[in-house]
Chain A
Amino acid sequence: MTIIETDLSPVTLKQNMSRLFFKKKLFNFALPALVLTYLAYVFLSFDMPGLWARASLENAKTLVSDTYSYKTHVTRDNRDASVSVAIEGERKGAYPEGVSPDWVTLGEITVIDLEGGHQVRFGPQAVEYDIPGYGLVRATPTRHQGVQAELPAGEVPDWISVSKNRLAIKTEAGRLTVTRNRSEVFRYFTGWELFFFTLDSPYHGLGLGEVLLRAAGGEAGAILRDIWTNKMWRHQDVAWAIAETLLMAFLGTIGAGILALPLAFLAARNFNPLGPLRFAARRLFDFVRGVDSLIWTVVLARAFGPGPLTGALAILITDTGTFGKIFSEALENVDEKQIEGLASTGAKPAQRYRFGVIPQITPVLLSQLLYFLESNTRSATIIGAITGGGIGLLLTQAIITQKDWEEVAYYITLIIMMVMIMDWFSGWLRRRLIQGKGEGDSRLEPKEKTKVFFLP
């Protein structure tokens, strides 16, 4: 603020005021205008108008419906007349030969009940679909003349597509596709299929009460093993992946803290009188931070191969720079009086550090370590997706196959839960360790709050 002169005439004062107001007004309008201009520029340079053309609504529909429902395939191989039933059409979800769910009746003529009056029959020659309110559709797949479809008279509705080699019917009860080589019915169910037990487990299809009863009867080990080794959802692999991700974050953060502490002493003005050494330590921190974790990940993945160790080291190296910077700033803010007091009692340098310095910086150190532990859980997920380790890898794999969206939803839920639990845990520990210590340390709290060095 400028010093106000008291001998100004009202005219000059008024002029000054209006100039100030004009400037403020201009600024008030210029800033939002600038932001809007930039956003408009980005809007055009990212080709947002063309985005709708590229966006795939079909993909969105599959994604959403797949996350809360699954489908069971009933497939007839039209060359050897064999019929198979498989959940999601996957081998690991296939019913054993000759076994089927109760809505499919195997036999000379396979009858598939889609409920609501919809019924599909796989006969020896033809496939028939009884559609209530429309009529009977009959299709005969032949080797040489493609698929011969007979529809009820009248115009073909748009949920039926007929061509020479293919008949596809899509109703709310399910879906039927007939080609020369195979006839296939999809029936949709809500929920996540086979989440606990796969079809080859003796516990599949039992109610919760029944399973609990058997667990109490001494089969708990077998039940848990069946869940643990579920081939469809791979609970074992998922648990390991999450453990790997947490391990990466833990090793990386703590390792970085351990490495950064001695280096921070080198970089702090009041502890290291040697200018060049201090300069070197600071530039090392800047360099390590500047070479982004992406580049470190890429470089380290070449040396160590994919896995949790690479991720941990990438986090460790990047964070050493950040921690070094934060810790050395904390060290420069240390109160000299306590050290002097210790020195006056005849404490040796090591004792001065141990009892004069460390207790002062511990709160900053711990709270930063815990903050980073939480944010690194997220980083570890991302790094895992790049190097190939942890839950990040499972997620990218599930997304790349583009069909197991229920697994993607499952992994996303797990990741969010993992991060939120880590967030809660680190906050809890921070409160216990720092504020729980008593009034002596609360003096450091406001000092730390004004620091803008907060993280991701």
Chain B
Amino acid sequence: MADLTAAPLSTEQIRNQYGEMIRRKRLYGGILLVLFVALMVAGFRTADARNAGSFSDGIGRIFDYPAEVLSEAGEKLAELSGHLVHFFPALIETLNIAGAATLVGAILGSFLSLLSTRGMAPWTSLIPLFRRISDICRAIPEIVIALVLIFLLGGGPVPAMIAIAIHTAGALGKLFSEVNENASLKPIEGLESVGGTWGQRMWLGVIPQVGPNYVSYALLRFEINIRASAILGFVGAGGIGYELKNAMSWGQGRYDEAAAIFLLLFITIVAVDQLSGVLRDRLILGARTGAKT
């Protein structure tokens, strides 16, 4: 930095210093960029080398499989509606897994978040503990719990539901506690002064403030959980993912079924995505205008 007590710099000097600074900045930026590109290229080459098939071979074949599936589905177009009806219950199961997991996770997550927010937690000293619990719940990928539970409980929707619920509780716990931090503590003090219990303070003082945001985050989570529950089905937890795996491992001859499942999954995800987007916008905007008046 320039020394203010020294004689004022001439324009020439200022320009030189500025030029020097810009050059150094560009040099650092350039080095960083080169490093970054080198890292990307090295990473790509490593991934390519450790993959079963190489990128250059596979890139031309990306559309082979979809084309096969589509052409077979096209030949058996008449059966498609039948398949759609046949796999609909599996789709409902997937949606139920996601729905129940989101509900249970949201309930657990709101407890976790209330217990780990300063000013709302009944036990202040335990706040770090509940924070860590929600961190750990969030860090466990669903598939880990699901696979272990499938071993214990047998295949089916319950392991997937529990696995997704645990992860959801952690993820929502963190988001909810961010929401809580913006909530006003005055209603809680008011309720406390008239002798409200912890449950009453939270239910009547906090939840009405944060409710719309909670629901909006939970809706977003529901969307994510549908995808997760489809994936877990693939490893044996029931629902549409399981049917997809069966249809796929059968291979040619049942591609029409695979196509029907792809279609169902796609439509569901897009529909839920749009629906929850609209709902979320309405909730958040509603909450904001409500707060302003």
Contacts and interface: CB of A to CB of B under 8 A. Distances in A.
A248 B151 contact: no
Nearest to B274: A286
A60 B141 CA distance: 20
Interface in B102-151: 103-104, 135-136, 138-144, 147-148, 151
Interface string B161-193: 100000000010001000000000000000000
A357 interface: no
Nearest to B220: A452
B88 to A, nearest CB: 14
B210 to A, nearest CB: 13
A234 to B, nearest CB: 16
Interface in A5-59: 35, 38-39, 42, 45-48, 51, 54-56, 59
Contacts of A339: none
A292 B229 CA distance: 11
A307 interface: yes
Interface string A369-398: 000000000100110011001001001100
Contacts of A306: 51-52
Interface residues of A, number: 69
A412 B136 CA distance: 12
A166 to B, nearest CB: 26
A305 interface: yes
B65 A303 contact: yes
Nearest to A60: B152
A251 B47 CA distance: 9
A441 B146 CA distance: 42
B290 interface: yes
A215 to B, nearest CB: 30
A264 to B, nearest CB: 18
B38 interface: no
A421 B149 CA distance: 25
Contacts, number: 191
Nearest to A56: B152
B158 A308 contact: no
Interface stretch (A135-143, A172-180, A293-301): A293-301
Given A290-B266, A294-B227, A306-B52, A42 B100 contact: yes
Nearest to A402: B151
Contacts of B151: 59, 63, 399, 402
Contacts of A42: 96, 99-100, 161
A52 B219 CA distance: 31
Contact of B235 (A47, A310, A385, A450): A385
A291 interface: yes
Interface string A244-277: 1001101100110000000000000000000000
Contact of A423 (B50, B66, B139, B220): B139
Nearest to A455: B224
A39 B284 CA distance: 26
- Nearest 10 A/B pairs, CB to CB: A305-B52, A307-B51, A305-B53, A309-B51, A304-B58, A302-B65, A419-B139, A303-B58, A290-B270, A42-B100
Given A45-B96, A247-B43, A308-B51, 5 more contacts: A38-B103, A54-B153, A60-B152, A300-B58, A382-B141
10 contacts: A59-B152, A290-B270, A303-B58, A304-B53, A304-B58, A307-B51, A381-B143, A396-B235, A399-B148, A416-B139
